[in-house]
């Protein structure tokens, strides 16, 4: 960080970043005498102040480093970007019409006001909760666990995000909960580790603290302070925990149990039998566990881990969402904070972490601040001044959609799930169903067959992929590249699709093309695209197959598979 900015930041102390903007412009002596100083915004109370301070800080950094930022993106780009990032799906043509790109919306809003309203709308939606439930399920247990366990963890996260529970409370549930499914779905997290406590310790530390301690399981960390004794002492918090399952078929359930904490430290030490220099569990880099018969070992760990005073927890949380939304965090890889990989702008990360903690770890508060910032709204088109910028967010980084986002996007644009609704069907032999029930069953079986087949294609193509890739990693396998070319994305013709509706609604070739583009890419064709298509438009009005080809071709474009 440049000395000028560094002095500005430190002058503000530990107040919210929103207060930085008050220090950016120098005042004359007369102004200082005649104007009262504006009050600094309270920590965690004003996401707009956090957002504005963030923009001011990075604007100063960009100027000091001779970086001319890219312009703000247009409305169409912002709409698609916000939908994909927050909801995991592209906007529908109805969403595009409601947002009115380049114009005022139905409530007369435009520009920043209209974009803030969109972010609020998306954060309040069920799709937002579903998207981040999927994201966190994959981060926690990967893509190869059983569907039923995945479902319980998905349910837990979905409920938490719908209710906007504080992130600290969400993580406490994962680490500290005991009980059984379905009443306590969060126990699926610990069950996924099959009672391998070393894996639990390494994963929770990496996910929620950004500390990669897993190699200290076998030997002292080669370049960090963590010793095998530190790893074992952290693992000790799970020593009284056991997981398992009981029952068969519909009666099967999964559970996590916790044995009572022994009556004193001596008995606890005898029970957990640590072999290193510590006799009791020890918080990573912190104090030794102090006996508390009102809290389980895991509850004590969760209290320490998610405390507002825990710098690692609050900063790792901010860094992850910064990396998710902007393609690049203050620390990359996002979950590897170490002495050789320090934050690019450490004071800003520290102040954002404190603001986030003071908000009650309110994720919507944090997401509002980032998604309405100029950093997030920059165009992905670089200028000749910022092509090499990897630190100051002077442009937006194009990112690949995750397999989960791509899967949901295909379902969204084809319309097979939404255009073919069905009612509940009794679980009885077909001959006992009424004619309406038989029709419902036929629709249900076809829709579920389509979804299951598509999901299998995605599992085959992406099942072994890491949950997170580097922000500039656009690599993929041949199977992934061919997935949407090989799969019958428009079904077998027995189900309604958005394309079928488009073709039925108009015979005009230009209108059909516009609607296909809006459905798949959330925009109309550019003049150049339209000029290219006019050269092959001769028989299009009379040939529906060519429109199918266009629909599928757009699904296979880089634009459809990325956030940009």
Q: What is the pLDDT of residues 278-333, one digit of tens each?
A: 899 999 988 999 988 889 999 999 999 999 999 999 999 999 999 999 999 999 99
311 lies in a domain?
A: no
Pairing mode of beta strands 253-258, 241-246 = antiparallel
Hey, CA dihedral for 471, 476, 481, 484, is it positive or negative? negative
In the numeric block, the tokens 């957990």 are attached to 272
Structure tokens at 560: 């459809």
Share of the chain above pLDDT 90, in %: 65
Q: Please state, in angstroms and rounded to a whole number, the distance separating the CA atoms of residues 479 and 367.
A: 34
Which of 38-47, 195-204, 254-263, 343-352 is predicted least confidently? 38-47
Asked whether residue 148 falls in the same domain as residue 295, the answer is yes
Within a domain: residue 312?
no
In a domain, 138, yes or no: yes
Is 116 within a domain? no
Choosing from 272, 305, 338, the residue where a domain stops is 305
The yes-or-no verdict on residue 39 having pLDDT over 70 is no
Domain around 540: 399-563
In sequence order, the β-bridge partners of residue 256 are 179, 243
* Domain stop point among 263, 286, 305: 305
d(CA 35, CA 530): 57
Q: What is the pLDDT of residue 147?
A: 72
Of 238, 270, 305, which residue constitutes the final position of a domain? Answer: 305
Residue 334 in any domain: the answer is no
Please provide the average confidence, as pLDDT, over all residues in the chain.
88
Based on the domain organization, do 301 and 433 belong to the same domain? no
Quote the pTM value: 0.90
Least-confidence region, from 5-14, 78-87, 363-372, 405-414? 5-14
69 belongs to a structural domain: no
CA dihedral 414, 419, 423, 424 (to 10 degrees): 10
Do residues 175 and 293 both lie within one domain? yes
Q: Are residues 152 and 290 in the same domain?
A: yes
Residue 51, in any domain of the structure: no
The residue with greater pLDDT, 13 or 247, is 247
Tally of domains in the chain: 2
pLDDT for residue 21 is more than 70 = no
Contact by Cβ (8 Å): 14, 351? yes
Q: What sections of 41-110 are H helices per DSSP?
A: 47-64, 75-87, 93-99
Note whether residue 113 is domain-resident.
no
């Amino acid at each position: 960080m440049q000395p000028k900015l560094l002095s500005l930041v430190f002058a503000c102390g530990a107040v919210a970043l929103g207060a930085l903007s008050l220090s950016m412009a120098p005042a004359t002596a007369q102004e200082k005498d005649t104007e009262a100083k504006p009050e600094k915004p309270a920590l965690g109370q004003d996401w707009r102040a956090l957002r504005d301070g963030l923009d001011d800080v990075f604007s100063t950094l960009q100027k000091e480093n001779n970086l001319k930022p890219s312009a703000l993106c247009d409305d169409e780009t912002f709409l698609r970007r916000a939908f994909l990032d927050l909801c995991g799906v592209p906007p529908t043509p109805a969403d595009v019409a409601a947002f009115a790109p380049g114009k005022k919306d139905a409530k007369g809003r435009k520009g920043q006001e209209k974009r803030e309203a969109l972010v609020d709308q998306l954060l309040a939606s069920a799709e937002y909760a579903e998207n981040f439930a999927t994201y966190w399920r994959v981060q926690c247990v990967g893509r190869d666990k059983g569907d039923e366990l995945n479902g319980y963890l998905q349910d837990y996260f979905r409920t938490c995000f719908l209710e906007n529970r504080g992130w600290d409370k969400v993580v406490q549930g994962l680490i500290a909960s005991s009980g059984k499914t379905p009443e306590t779905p969060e126990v699926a997290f610990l069950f996924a580790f099959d009672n391998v406590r070393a894996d639990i310790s390494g994963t929770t530390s990496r996910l929620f603290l950004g500390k990669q301690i897993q190699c200290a399981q076998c030997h002292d960390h080669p370049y960090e302070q963590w010793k095998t004794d530190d790893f074992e002492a952290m693992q000790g918090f799970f020593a009284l925990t056991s997981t398992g399952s009981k029952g068969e078929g519909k009666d099967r359930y999964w559970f996590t149990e916790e044995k009572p904490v022994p009556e004193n430290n001596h008995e606890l030490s005898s029970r957990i039998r640590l072999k290193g220099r510590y006799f009791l569990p020890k918080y990573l880099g912190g104090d030794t566990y102090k006996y508390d018969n009102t809290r389980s070992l895991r509850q004590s760990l969760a209290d320490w881990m998610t405390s507002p005073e825990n710098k690692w927890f609050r900063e790792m949380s901010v860094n992850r969402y910064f990396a998710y939304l902007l393609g690049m965090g203050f620390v990359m890889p996002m979950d590897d904070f170490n002495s050789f990989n320090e934050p690019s702008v450490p004071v800003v990360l520290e102040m954002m972490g404190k603001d986030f903690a003071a908000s009650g770890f309110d994720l919507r508060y944090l997401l509002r601040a980032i998604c309405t910032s100029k950093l997030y709204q920059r165009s992905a088109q670089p200028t000749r001044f910022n092509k090499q910028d990897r630190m100051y967010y002077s442009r937006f980084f194009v990112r690949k959609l995750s397999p989960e986002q791509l899967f949901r996007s295909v379902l969204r644009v084809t319309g097979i799930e939404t255009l073919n609704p069905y009612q509940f069907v009794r679980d009885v032999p077909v001959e006992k169903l009424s004619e309406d029930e038989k029709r419902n069953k036929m629709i249900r079986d076809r829709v579920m067959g389509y979804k299951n087949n598509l999901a299998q294609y995605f599992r085959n193509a992406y099942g072994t992929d890491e949950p997170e890739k580097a922000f500039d990693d656009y690599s993929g396998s041949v199977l992934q590249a061919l997935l949407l070319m090989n799969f019958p994305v428009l079904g077998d013709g027995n189900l309604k699709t958005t394309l079928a509706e488009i073709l039925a609604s108009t015979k005009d070739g230009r209108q059909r093309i516009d609607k296909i583009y809006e459905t798949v890419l959330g925009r109309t064709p550019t003049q150049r695209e339209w000029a290219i298509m006019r050269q092959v438009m001769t028989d299009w009005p009379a040939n529906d197959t060519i429109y199918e080809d266009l629909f599928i071709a757009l699904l296979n474009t880089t634009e459809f598979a990325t956030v940009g």
